[in-house]
Amino acid sequence: MNYKYCIKERIEKLPMNDYRKTKMNIIEALGKTRRTFDRYCTISADEFGDIPAQDLDIIASILKCTADDLKNYEVNNAEVRHKMMRRR
């Protein structure tokens, strides 16, 4: 399956002890439930949903990368402009 974010892949590359600690640290830092975090990790590339920017920044800081490093997609400027025009 193609996920919108590579959070799951990055965490799974960690040794098991670090995997568990990191996952719990992220959940605690976000102040979200485990279910919400698991949902963040499994958003499909073709889904409309996104992780809130602040939550993505928190996850990235714990994983020692940037929010852009966690994205499995490119932002298309033409598509953004089209969506903005539709909302008016």
CA distance 75 to 56: 16
CA distance 59 to 30: 8
- The structure's pTM equals 0.81
30, 62 Cβ separation under 8 angstroms: no
CA distance 11 to 23: 7
Give pLDDT tens digits along the chain (88 positions). 689 999 999 999 999 989 999 999 999 999 999 999 999 999 998 888 899 999 999 999 999 999 999 998 776 666 666 666 766 6
Tell me which amino acid residue 75 is. Answer: V
52, 62 Cβ separation under 8 angstroms: no
Task: Say whether 5 sits in a helix, a strand or coil.
Answer: strand
Q: Residue 78: what pLDDT?
A: 67
